[in-house]
Amino acid sequence: MSRWIPLESNPELFNNWAHKVGLVESDSEFVDIYGLDDDLLKLVPEPVKAVILLFPIRGKLEELRKAEEAEIKEKGQVPVDPTVFWIKQTISNACGTIGLLHALTNAQVVFEPESPITRFIYACQDKTPLERAEFLESTHLFADIHAALAASGQTAVPTDLDTDLHFTCFVQAPEASAREAEIPTDERRLIELDGGRAGPVDRGASTDLLKDVAKYVKEEIMPKAPSLQFSMIALAGGFQDDVNEDNLV
């Protein structure tokens, strides 16, 4: 398995990464989420299009996540919109890049033509999540950008690349049945996109992406985490087309 340098959870670094891979600079930006209380959530620009969470993945929390994974495999879950773009993580320490890709590819944002991310989406649109991972391993579209920015963070590059901190991403998507039947709907589901899991995970109905993620993190992750090494960053601002594709997305 390939191993990359871990990315720092830093909105300035995330924005540099996004612009280098092709996000139009005037469209949206990554910003800090300073806390989970409503007063602090109000400081985040709207609309919020994705949330990236960095959290400690060990101890009780990791055990519970593995148990949840086994339960989903055995019993299934609420079907997830089949057009959600998900990538399996096969590169060690690439969860930052995977989280950024999940945020950008599932948000209403604008990319530069022929940019790395545009080429990646085009090349991967008919691939399976594992084939997308294999393509990510074999191409230099993102590896060089990841390496350069990982080395430019505010903290020194660690000599020990083993880390128990992990990035995951949250987005909204319409119900799978509405998407498949092409029925217009304003109803949304909260979807967690973690390349370390077996697939996207449905986290329930969602009316406000930022508040719903904050509630989930506060109630389901923080009480079970072995430390308070948390960071949340939102992809926010720009234009949000609420009626795109007849409210299907």
Among 102, 124, 146, 166, the active-site one is 166
Q: State the Cα–Cα distance between residues 189 and 80, nearest whole angstrom.
A: 8
Q: Of 163, 217, 172, 210, whose CA–CA distance to 191 is shortest?
A: 172
Among 19, 95, 102, 146, the active-site one is 95
Q: State the Cα–Cα distance between residues 176 and 147, nearest whole angstrom.
A: 36
Burial of 160-198, coded b for 16+ CB within 10 Å and e otherwise, reads eeeeebbbbbbbbbbbbebbeeeeeeeebbbbbbbbebe
C-alpha 148 chain-centroid distance:
21
Q: Of 188, 32, 25, 181, whose CA–CA distance to 106 is shortest?
A: 188
Burial of 22-56, coded b for 16+ CB within 10 Å and e otherwise, reads bbeeebbbbbbbeebeeeebeebeebbbbbbbbbb
Backbone phi, psi, residue 92, to 5°: -60, 135
Residue 95 falls in the annotated catalytic set? yes
Q: State the Cα–Cα distance between residues 83 and 72, nearest whole angstrom.
A: 20
Residue 124 falls in the annotated catalytic set? no
Catalytic residues: 95, 166
